[in-house]
Amino acid sequence: MSTVTLGPARMGDAPAIAHLSRDLIEADLPWSWTPRRVASLMRQRESAAVIARDQNRLAGFILAQYGDESAHIALLGVADEYRRQGIGRRMVQWVEETAMVAGLFLVRLEVRAIKREARHFYARLGYRETDRVDGYYSGLEDAIKMSRDLRALSTSK
């Protein structure tokens, strides 16, 4: 049995994150989250990159940005063989807890409209669909905007 651990991503992880993103998230779309773009986001002061690692293998990743009023999940991916093990949920919880520590109680994200499994995953975590954006992905595909208000979590702890 494998032991998957979460931890901060390093700059050297950017190419692996980008390639996994291309395969999992951007399949059938132009590749926009290239190693350079991933590294650029990782360098931003108001961002966080967390990876899930199984020994030396990248099992998943999450990239988030923290603004003045909300946090934004830019990318989340879990390799197929690691799905349904709670890894994605743990990474989202990490972003949510970090947001609350920073005084942010709204988390936003966009997901490809055709990715029903991803939409259901977020819905199970308490995210609700708030809008649809035509052609969001390279003018080719619609996005569903989702968000979660974390205030109820902060008062229950």
Q: Which helix (H) or strand (E) holds 78?
A: strand 71-78
Q: Domain spanning 4-156 has what CATH number?
A: 3.40.630.30
The band of 151, judged by pLDDT with boundaries at 50, 70 and 90, is confident
The answer to whether 147 touches 104, Cβ cutoff 8 Å, is: no
Which pLDDT does position 54 carry in this prediction? Answer: 93
Which pLDDT does position 1 carry in this prediction? Answer: 47
Q: Give, in degrees to the nearest 5, the angle at Cα 112 between 15 and 104.
A: 80
Q: How far is CA 99 from the centre of its chain?
A: 13
The answer to whether 145 touches 132, Cβ cutoff 8 Å, is: yes
Assessment of whether the complete model's pTM goes beyond 0.85? yes
Which pLDDT does position 49 carry in this prediction? Answer: 96
Which pLDDT does position 153 carry in this prediction? Answer: 65
Residue 100 has pLDDT above 60, yes or no: yes
6-65 pLDDT per residue, tens: 999 999 999 999 999 999 999 889 899 999 999 999 999 999 999 999 988 999 999 999
The answer to whether 47 touches 41, Cβ cutoff 8 Å, is: yes
Structural domain spans, the chain? 4-156
- Compute the mean pLDDT over every residue in the chain, rounded to the nearest whole number: 92
The band of 156, judged by pLDDT with boundaries at 50, 70 and 90, is low
Which amino acid is present at 114? I
The strand pairing partners of 149, in sequence order, are 106
Which pLDDT does position 99 carry in this prediction? Answer: 94
